[in-house]
Amino acid sequence: MSDMVENIRPTRTPAFEARLKKRYASERRFKALGLGAILFSIAVLVFLLVTMALNGFGGFQRTELRVPVDFAAAPVSVPADAADERAVVQSLERQGLRDIITFSATEAFGEEGAAQLNSESWRIVAQEIAEDPSLARGQQEFWLPTSEDLASAYAGDGSAELQPLAQQLTEQGHLEDNLDLGFLERADATDPQLVGIWGALKGSILTMIVTLLLAFPIGVLAALYLEEYAPKNRWTDLIEVSINNLAAVPSIIFGLLGLAVFLWIFPSYRSAPLIGGMTLALMTMPVIVIAGRNAIKAVPPSIRDGALAIGASPVQVVFHHVLPLALPGILTGTIIGMARALGETAPLLLIGMRAFVASPPQGFTDNATVLPMQIFLWSDEIDRGFVERTSAAIIVLLVFLLLMNGLAIYLRNRFEKKW
Amino acid sequence: MVMSEATDSPLASQAQKSLEHENIETGEPKMRARDVDVYYGQKKAIDGVNIDVFTEFVTAFIGPSGCGKSTFLRALNRMNDTIPSARVTGTIELDGEDIYASGMDVVQLRARVGMVFQKPNPFPKSIYENIAYGPKIHGLAENKADLDVMVEKSLRRAGLWEEVKDRLDDSGTALSGGQQQRLCIARAIAVDPEVILMDEPCSALDPIATAKIEELIDELRGRYGIVIVTHSMQQAARVSQRTAFFHLGHLVEYGHTSDIFTNPAEKRTQDYITGRYG
């Protein structure tokens, strides 16, 4: 034995080389597994995005009829003293615009075809005239939404009776799918031809603003206090455990809390972004506190020492040195919390943000709904048109999320400093 | 300039010789520590230390690792306050005022007794901001022009001005290790402290950078009281006029550097400086 040790070094034996091979093999296996995991994630992501994009594209379109209107035969006038669009629309309604449109449609497509023009079509004409009064003179053509039934027939399903009509109108060039940018400007409606996402998007934006304004300062201050000032004793341990548990509480529980506490204090603000934001802030705050504490812990003690040693007070150390260095980490935590809050429906169900809201909220205390809730509500509808609208809403939600993340990454890189 | 010459330090040894025979008790000490104990929780890290620090002399603390010299140094500007379990008893006076008295403002104390750390720790800000930070928080500069003057003066005193004057807006962390440490010294100087404590300021630096710092310490002597903790006995011999030898939390011997190194009174000191332990 001792001869072997003396003559052959342990790192030169065949057994050692065999072990070495094994080590390399295990490294290769590990790398392959990791690569596989990443490829799988990418594949899933691509599948999701492609499916969304294909389905959702239809949601940004709507089936429209080309309706020729002869205002020379049936004149309407735009009142000169109209204060706003609404006044113009009301005036045009009184002048019988609805009948003029129905009459024009009957002229063009017959009784059967005119019946499939969307009942709100005249309002779209009225809004266009309000924007451009010259449209109310002479021969004009408008692309107007069809009824949901005709839209289904055009897409190749729905009732069998309308299929021949749809085919005939398509051949005559009166019926086609047009890009519907109005989807981004309207609010919820009962007719999928007339719905829009702006109401829910604005609701989400308002709710997120409230959430951010509450959760970010409270979360950051709590994290700073716990890390920098709090004495290390049983009470702070208890608080720490509580906050960690809070981050793991199912979101619907926060909804119950919002219902029980916030709606009890502000009973008239049911369905308001203010209450929704407050509820989501409760949910987001622990995430920010945990991320913030980790980021603050990661600031090297040498920076604190350096600042203290030239006579900075503890508050100056925190606000001049610790916070700026911890900010990128805090922002990362904030964005994770906000993204979670943005996609949240369960707690908002309980505080009444699932109401049908037909006009975009004008402020923090108006009735509102949010994007994921809108998706949930639309996916519940049986009309075929809502399926595509749901996909389109999902795309809007994802784009909003990406924009938010992009902003956070930009901010984080801006504040990132090396030491 | 050839750096190896500076390491042998004709300057330092000359200065030392001229001061060698002054009595240690002459003049009022800048800082005076009496019966100082430092505890970490139950553990006594420093036991009954008495020491005087003079502005005229550089004082070096030497001793093996863990002997408490850094702990004692940090007690001199109350940096130990940041460690919750640390406790200091006895008296430490700065110009006759007890720095642990309730009336002593710790922020003001640290402005008067600055500190340079083992690892260079410039703020991740520009070179200018690093120096200007102290004067800014203490409100020492009336306006931007004042501040510019202070920054230049501090950088000149730290011997860094010529190297960085064209890139004051660059990050302080982009400098080399030795430059970073001189930046930290300049940062401490900028608030015009009375004493500068240096905790092994050269242990992370190469010999050339070390020589520059030692030269700088010698230039700063007299204007600022300087206490330096060092592991290198050669360094203590080169830069200091007074040396304190710590062992296991006790101050074993304190006296003229030349006496400590040539004729120590205690056997433990002799064993340490001749390399028998530590």
Domain boundaries, chain A: 58-177, 198-415
**What is the structure's pLDDT at B175?**
92
Q: Assess if residue B278 is contained within a domain.
A: no
pLDDT digit string, tens, across residues A50-83:
988 888 888 888 888 888 888 888 878 887 777 7
Query: Does B121 contact A300 at a Cβ distance shorter than 8 Å?
Result: yes
Kindly tell me if the per-residue pLDDT of B169 is higher than 60: yes
Mean pLDDT of A88-117: 85
SS3 track for A199-248:
HHHHHHHHHHHHHHHHHHHHHHHHHHHHHHHCCCCHHHHHHHHHHHHHHC
Mean pLDDT of A224-253: 90
**What is the structure's pLDDT at A118?**
86
Query: Does B110 contact A310 at a Cβ distance shorter than 8 Å?
Result: yes
**What is the structure's pLDDT at A23?**
94
**What is the structure's pLDDT at A418?**
55
3-state helix, strand, coil in chain A (%, to 5): 70, 5, 25
Mean pLDDT is lowest, of A7-16, A195-204, B229-238, for A7-16
Query: Does A308 contact B117 at a Cβ distance shorter than 8 Å?
Result: no
**What is the structure's pLDDT at B130?**
94
**What is the structure's pLDDT at A74?**
80
d(CA A214, CA A388): 35
Q: Exposure pattern of A64-77 as b/e (b: 16+ CB <10 Å)?
A: bbbbebebeeeebe
pLDDT digit string, tens, across residues A129-177:
888 888 888 888 888 888 888 888 888 777 777 888 888 888 888 888 8
**Where residue B43 sits, what CATH number does that domain have?**
3.40.50.300
Q: What percent of chain B has pLDDT over 90?
A: 59
Query: Does B114 contact A308 at a Cβ distance shorter than 8 Å?
Result: no
Residue of A nearest to B80 (CA): A305
pTM (predicted TM-score): 0.81
Mean pLDDT of B56-73: 91
**What is the structure's pLDDT at A276?**
94
Q: CA neighbours within 13 Å on the CB side: how many for B202?
A: 23
Interface of A with B (CB under 8 A): 231-232, 300, 302-313, 316, 320-321, 325, 417-419
Kindly tell me if the per-residue pLDDT of B126 is higher than 80: yes
Residues in B closer than 8 angstroms to A312, CB to CB, are 107, 133, 137
**What is the structure's pLDDT at A97?**
85
Two tokens at A303?
Answer: 């920076």
SS3 B242: strand
Average model confidence (pLDDT) across chain B: 86
Ramachandran area for residue B9 (φ above 0: left; ψ -120 to 50: alpha; else beta): left
Query: Does A307 contact B114 at a Cβ distance shorter than 8 Å?
Result: no
Q: Assess if residue B186 is contained within a domain.
A: yes
Mean pLDDT of B21-30: 62
Kindly tell me if the per-residue pLDDT of B19 is higher than 60: no
SS3 B47: strand
To the nearest whole Å, the CA of A287 is away from the closest chain B CA by: 27
Kindly tell me if the per-residue pLDDT of B36 is higher than 80: yes
For A309, which of B79, B119, B137 is closest by C-beta distance? B79
Q: What percent of chain A has pLDDT over 90?
A: 39
Query: Does A313 contact B107 at a Cβ distance shorter than 8 Å?
Result: yes
Kindly tell me if the per-residue pLDDT of A280 is higher than 90: yes
Query: Does B123 contact A311 at a Cβ distance shorter than 8 Å?
Result: no
The pLDDT-based confidence of B2 (bands split at 50, 70, 90) is very low
Kindly tell me if the per-residue pLDDT of A230 is higher than 70: yes
Whether residue A72 contacts residue A153, with contact meaning beta carbons closer than 8 Å, is answered with: no
Q: How many structural domains are present in chain B? A: 1
Between the CA of residue B268 and those of A386, B49, B166, B230, B265, what are the distances in Å? 90, 17, 50, 18, 9
Query: Does A311 contact B119 at a Cβ distance shorter than 8 Å?
Result: no
Two tokens at A183?
Answer: 């989807």
d(CA B81, CA B196): 18
pLDDT digit string, tens, across residues A203-222:
999 999 999 999 999 999 99
**What is the structure's pLDDT at A1?**
47
To the nearest whole Å, the CA of A409 is away from the closest chain B CA by: 20
**Number of residues that make up chain A:** 419
Query: Does A310 contact B108 at a Cβ distance shorter than 8 Å?
Result: no
Residues in B closer than 8 angstroms to A305, CB to CB, are 79, 82, 115, 117, 121
Query: Which range marks the domain in which residue B110 is found?
Result: 3-19+30-273
Mean pLDDT of A11-20: 89
Q: What percent of chain A has pLDDT over 70?
A: 98
Kindly tell me if the per-residue pLDDT of A198 is higher than 80: yes
Which CATH code fits A198-415?
Answer: 1.10.3720.10
d(CA A12, CA A53): 60
**What is the structure's pLDDT at B13?**
45
ipTM: 0.84
Pairing of strands B58-62, B86-94: unpaired
The residue among A305, A310, A317 with the most chain B CBs within 10 A of its CB, best to mutate, is: A310
What sign for the dihedral angle of Cα A196, A202, A207, A208? Answer: positive
Kindly tell me if the per-residue pLDDT of A315 is higher than 70: yes
To the nearest whole Å, the CA of B121 is away from the closest chain A CA by: 6
Q: Assess if residue B24 is contained within a domain.
A: no
Query: Between A160 and B34, whose confidence is greater?
Result: B34
Kindly tell me if the per-residue pLDDT of B20 is higher than 70: no
To the nearest whole Å, the CA of B139 is away from the closest chain A CA by: 12
Mean pLDDT of B55-61: 92
d(CA A181, CA A168): 27
For B134, which of A304, A311, A417 is closest by C-beta distance? A311
